[in-house]
Structure formats: structure tokens, C-alpha cells
Amino acid sequence: MGLLKKYVTMFREDMKEVMARRCGLDELNNFIMLIGFVYVVFALFTGNKLCIICGAVCIILGYMRVFSKNLEKRRKENAVYMRYMGGVVRVVKYCKVCIKMWIKTLKDKEYYYFVCSACHQIIRVPKGKNKVSIRCPKCEKTFIKRT
């Protein structure tokens, strides 16, 4: 058992080292993988062969970019993608964090968790204070929240 653990740790360290020199999951890869996933799910429901091919192409392309060693080229591709889609990516990220914090608030009896709409900093306030004016510690923006 101990030996297995040692090998798993070694493998993980190796992967970390390998991935440090590869492109990994940048924003463009997330998008390509998502499109591929949507195609595959759609193909599963409709049995559409073209969708399977499109999905497979997207996923393979995504993996090729994830494991790519040509970091400069991949970074340029991602920069082009971010130039056109950066706004959307940021909104999606903001929504994801908001949902996460909303779930965290539901679980936490003592604190409310907010996301600053200006800089996306996470702010924690004690519950049961009614209407409070909150100042973001990072960007100093103030907003009124009901807790």
C-alpha cells in the first residue's frame, strides 16, 4: 500500500513537471472542450453522426492544445480568442463565482458571501445586519446589500 502511494505521488509529481511545460487548460481550451462536449451530448440524444465527428474533432483539438509544447503559439491563439471573447469569459467566470458564493452563503449560518461586481473580490459579511453599506477592500467600491 505504501509503495503504491509512493508511485502515485511520483506519477503526480511527474505530471506536474510535464504540465508545467505544456499549454494546459487556458480559456480557449475550456471553450473548445465545452463545444466538443455539447456536440457529443447532442449526438448521444439525436444519433447524429456528423455531431459525433464534430465533437471528436473539438475534443482531440482541445487535447492537442492542452499537451502542446509550443507555448508561444498557444498563448497567441488564446490572446486572439480573449480579444473577441474576453468579455463573455469574464461574465461567465463572474457568474460561476456568484453561484459558488450563493451556495456557500446557504451553507454558512454566520456569514454572507458577496462578489464585488467591479473587481470580483469575494467579500464576507456577518448575517442578520439588515441593510448594510459594504466597501470592497480591494477596489474600494461601495454598495448596499441586504443581509
Q: C-alpha angle with apex 117: 115 to 121, nearest 5 degrees?
A: 45
Give dist(CA 5, CA 9) in Å, integer. 6
Taking the complex as a whole, the smallest distance from the CB of residue 93 to Zn ion amounts, in Å, to 15
Taking the complex as a whole, the smallest distance from the CB of residue 105 to Zn ion amounts, in Å, to 18
Residue 23 or 136 having the CB closest to Zn ion: 136
Taking the complex as a whole, the smallest distance from the CB of residue 134 to Zn ion amounts, in Å, to 10
Residue 18 or 118 having the CB closest to Zn ion: 118
Residue 28 or 116 having the CB closest to Zn ion: 116
Taking the complex as a whole, the smallest distance from the CB of residue 61 to Zn ion amounts, in Å, to 36
68: DSSP letter: -
| Contact residues: Zn ion, CB under 5 A | 116, 118-119, 121, 136, 138-139, 141
Does residue 79 contact residue 94 with C-beta atoms inside 8 Å?
no
Residue 79 or 95 having the CB closest to Zn ion: 95
b/e for 44-70, b at 16 or more Cβ within 10 A? Answer: eeeeeeebbebbeebbeebeebbebee
Count other Cβ atoms within 10 Å, centred on residue 36. Answer: 20
